Structure 1
Amino acid sequence: MSEERFKHLMLRLDQIERNMLKKSDVCQSVLTAQVFMLTIVVGVVVLNSMIGFG
């Protein structure tokens, strides 16, 4: 394998790795938001059943 071809391959692999990290960050953010919303819903349901809140 020539040096130029090797550099091109390494550049492509770096780009793929960066894209995977971006997608991972997006998935983590979505999961965090979903857990936060679920926590709020559960909190409202518990408060509603305890003291008639909501």
Structure 2
Amino acid sequence: MLDIRKYREQEDLVRQGLAAKQSKVDVDAIVSRDRERRQLLTEVEGLKSRRNTV
């Protein structure tokens, strides 16, 4: 199993490696979900900060 940072930082290399192994992994979906997750975490942290100031 690859670290999610590898997908983020070296997406093309991951694609090449998976293609070489003939693995059918949807890299686009993984990267998209990770991006969405990070955006939500940022939003949650902002809301927590706002709550703490109130």
The TM-score bracket by the shorter chain reads 0.5 to 0.7
Percent of residue pairs bearing the same amino acid type: 3
1:25 counterpart = 2:38: yes
SS in structure 1 at match of 2:50 = helix
Using the size of structure 1 for normalisation, the TM-score is 0.55
Judging by fraction of residues, say which structure has more helix. 1
Supply the RMSD in Å over aligned alpha carbons: 1.9
Aligned length: 34
Larger Rg: 1
For structure 2, the residue ranges without an aligned partner over 5 or more in a row are 1-18
